[in-house]
Amino acid sequence: MKRFLHKLRYVHLKDLWAVFLLVAAIPLSLQLKKSRPHIWLVCERAMEARDNGYWLYQYLCRAQPQIDAVYAIDDRSPDYGKVAELGGETVKWGGVRHWAYYLAAEYNISSQKDGKPNAALCYLLEVYGIRRNRRVFLQHGIIHNDLEFLHYENAKIGLFLCGARPEYEYVRRTFGYPEGSVRYTGLARFDGLYDCPKEKFVLVMPTWRKAIATPARFARHLDGDREFRQTSYYQAWHSLLNSSELKALLASHGMRLVFYPHPNMQRFLDLFRDGCDGVEFCDWRTNDVQDLLRRAAFLITDYSSVAMDFAYMGKPLLYYQFDVDDFRRSQYAAGYFEYSRDGFGPVCRSGREVIAALSAWLERAEHNEAVYLDRSRRFFEIHDRNNCQRNFEAIRDWSDR
């Protein structure tokens, strides 16, 4: 009951409207269930088709056309066209038809825990056993923190697919899922991390901060731009981007500097531009994260799981962790992954350390260090182009149990 009351804090008016859409969708869902009993409904976030959901859906359209696969996406999304080009069926996110497919689908498959027509209402339906559907979690990134919201008692996910052996062992051991519900398949999007053209730019890609970003009505309220500029997050990253020493170092080696903050922080993108001449700023609507990772020569991040994708490609990176105590206290508790022991690059606490680590990499003729390559090889026990196939087979085999 305590958890239920806590969740009620997040209910919006649009969630109440979703109840009417759900009821309106029931007749169509019954028709779909009868005429198409084996629908695989795939999605990510409403506006995106760039992650594991898209990669699996693309595989189904091309390699498994016998599967009745449908992709849910907002028709205003910049990615809508590339989904439609696959020739499969799409459904508009959040409407009556999306609800009908959600209710009728044999499998609801997503890279996001909230990948459903309405996260709040579907949470109540699923976690409290009202809607007993087969839900497959493809994940958004390799889990390395203790994410309590993904524990079985809080998510009730049916099939939980993992991208690395240590992650799989950790989730299976500590998240409370029934035997056989957690599988190690590799992430579907890893199939796209081969034959990557390395361009001469350093990619800066920090993750978000719950205390600053979303949801705004429960986070610490910021008094406009002025208060955001006073956060350690802004000051640390803006100072780095604006460092004349860093810019001179990169320019001397013909390197560009590219900044792409987490989508939850993109509303502050213009504030980072102040005084940061020569830096390329990336908007999420026109820049695909995986494409940037594939092309970048070096990655600077903090706690983001994009480091895992970069390490999968054997590329060099560093972690800039200037606020580790605050991050652990206010966002994610530590899991099995210890950055100094398990990380795929040096851990830096200050901008000066970041510049020193970058300089050392450039002096090595842009080669990664053997210790980090070895950690990557051990972390990713499976390393091939068959991740989508294994995702498909895991879902198919689950249906046969």
Q: With H, G, I as helix, E, B as strand and everything else as coil, classify residue 65.
A: coil
Predicted confidence at residue 32, as pLDDT, reads 97
Q: How far apart are CA 23 and CA 98, in angstroms?
A: 12
The reply to whether 25 and 59 lie within a common domain is: yes
The reply to whether 360 and 395 lie within a common domain is: no
Measured from the Cβ of residue 81, the count of other Cβ atoms closer than 10 Å reads 10
Question: Which tokens sit at 2?
Answer: 């305590």
Query: Do residues 287 and 294 lie in contact, with contact meaning Cβ atoms separated by under 8 Å?
Result: no
Query: Do residues 376 and 344 lie in contact, with contact meaning Cβ atoms separated by under 8 Å?
Result: yes
Predicted confidence at residue 274, as pLDDT, reads 87
The reply to whether 292 and 156 lie within a common domain is: no
Predicted confidence at residue 219, as pLDDT, reads 42
pTM for the full predicted model: 0.93
Predicted confidence at residue 218, as pLDDT, reads 39
The reply to whether 124 and 211 lie within a common domain is: no
The dihedral over CA atoms of 295, 297, 338, 349, expressed in degrees to the nearest 10, equals -120
The dihedral over CA atoms of 189, 191, 136, 161, expressed in degrees to the nearest 10, equals -100
Domain count, the chain: 2
Q: With H, G, I as helix, E, B as strand and everything else as coil, classify residue 193.
A: coil
The reply to whether 122 and 6 lie within a common domain is: yes
The reply to whether 113 and 230 lie within a common domain is: no
Predicted confidence at residue 217, as pLDDT, reads 38
The reply to whether 346 and 393 lie within a common domain is: no
Sign of the four-CA dihedral 358, 360, 366, 372? negative
The b-or-e profile of 12-38 (16+ CB within 10 A means b, else e) is eeebeebeebbeebeebbeebeeeeee
Task: For residue 102, give the amino acid letter.
Answer: Y
Whichever domain contains 34, its CATH number is 3.40.50.11820
Give kind and range of the element (H or E) at residue 90. Answer: strand 89-92
The reply to whether 365 and 393 lie within a common domain is: no
User: In sequence order, what are the beta bridge partners of 162?
Assistant: 184
Predicted confidence at residue 127, as pLDDT, reads 79
Predicted confidence at residue 9, as pLDDT, reads 53
Query: Do residues 214 and 336 lie in contact, with contact meaning Cβ atoms separated by under 8 Å?
Result: no
The reply to whether 151 and 273 lie within a common domain is: no
Predicted confidence at residue 114, as pLDDT, reads 83
Q: How far apart are CA 161 and CA 192, in angstroms?
A: 18
Length of the chain: 401
Q: Which residues of the chain have pLDDT under 70?
A: 1-13, 133, 214-224, 399-401
Predicted confidence at residue 215, as pLDDT, reads 47
Q: Which domain holds residue 93?
A: 2-192+385-399
The reply to whether 242 and 187 lie within a common domain is: no
Q: How far apart are CA 157 and CA 126, in angstroms?
A: 9
Question: Which tokens sit at 396?
Answer: 């198919």
Whichever domain contains 307, its CATH number is 3.40.50.12580
Predicted confidence at residue 10, as pLDDT, reads 55
Q: With H, G, I as helix, E, B as strand and everything else as coil, classify residue 350.
A: coil
The reply to whether 128 and 182 lie within a common domain is: yes
Predicted confidence at residue 220, as pLDDT, reads 46
The reply to whether 177 and 215 lie within a common domain is: no
